[in-house]
């Protein structure tokens, strides 16, 4: 049995600090230790599955202000990290089954994570396989004359834009901007 309160108080010299320096017995230590028969939740499995699912959802980042050059690599890296976390969770469950849960669920999560990662890799490789439009003008090719309304709904032709205003030099080039959507 541990020392009594008076022994600890006389040892420390102060009764206020006696409670802080109380020596815990083995019984009180065992109250705070986890039960060895109780299995722990394998958090790596759940975190890995969540990260893997966030991979395809990261495609919505194209509508944000993040630079577009980084996004394909981010869309590939997120499912890869998720698959790695799921594999860590499965290895935990298989190597220490008495401590961690998730052998069956972890195997299912691994298959799902591998499929999502394989889909991300396939999209990463094949997203640029879009064929060129046969009717699109090539760089340097002369554009046929056309007439479109301007911002005030007045018709403006390409020939009008290339003609010089009185007293000015004729323009050498013209920049056309096509908006995808509404003004």
- Render pLDDT for 7-44 as a digit per residue (tens, 0 to 9): 544 554 554 454 444 555 555 555 555 566 677 788 88
pTM score = 0.55
Residues 55 and 108 in one domain: yes
Residues 50 and 102 in one domain: yes
- Render pLDDT for 86-126 as a digit per residue (tens, 0 to 9): 999 999 888 888 888 788 888 899 999 999 999 989 988 88
* Residue 151 falls inside a structural domain: no
Kindly tell me if the per-residue pLDDT of 53 is higher than 60: yes
* Residue 57 falls inside a structural domain: yes
Residues 10 and 70 in one domain: no
Range of the domain at 11: 1-33
Query: What residue has token string 């759940």?
Result: 46
* Residue 82 falls inside a structural domain: yes
Residues 107 and 47 in one domain: yes
Alpha carbon distance 63, 155 (integer Å): 33
Alpha carbon distance 93, 183 (integer Å): 56
Alpha carbon distance 102, 105 (integer Å): 5
* Residue 179 falls inside a structural domain: no
Alpha carbon distance 100, 110 (integer Å): 16
Residues 25 and 87 in one domain: no
Structural domain count of the chain: 2
Rounded to 10°, the helix 43-57/103-126 angle is 20
Residues 28 and 55 in one domain: no
- Sequence-ordered list of residues with C-beta below 8 angstroms from that of 115, at least 6 positions apart, any chain: none
Which helix (H) or strand (E) element contains residue 6?
A: helix 5-12
* Residue 97 falls inside a structural domain: yes
Residues 119 and 77 in one domain: yes
């Amino acid at each position: 049995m541990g020392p009594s309160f008076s022994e600890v108080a006389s040892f420390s010299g102060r009764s206020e600090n006696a409670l802080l320096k109380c020596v815990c017995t083995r019984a009180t230590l065992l109250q705070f230790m986890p039960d060895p028969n109780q299995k722990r939740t394998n958090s790596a499995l759940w975190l890995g599955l969540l990260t893997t699912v966030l991979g395809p959802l990261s495609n919505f980042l194209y509508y944000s202000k993040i630079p577009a050059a980084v996004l394909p690599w981010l869309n590939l890296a997120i499912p890869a990290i998720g698959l790695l976390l799921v594999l860590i969770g499965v290895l935990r469950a298989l190597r220490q089954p008495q401590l961690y849960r998730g052998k069956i669920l972890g195997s299912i999560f691994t298959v799902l994570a591998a499929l999502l990662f394989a889909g991300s890799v396939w999209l990463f490789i094949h997203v640029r396989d879009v064929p060129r439009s046969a009717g699109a003008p090539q760089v340097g090719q002369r554009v046929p004359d056309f007439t479109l309304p301007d911002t005030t709904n007045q018709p403006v032709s390409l020939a009008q834009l290339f003609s010089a205003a009185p007293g000015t030099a004729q323009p050498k080039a013209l920049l056309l901007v096509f908006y995808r959507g509404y003004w």
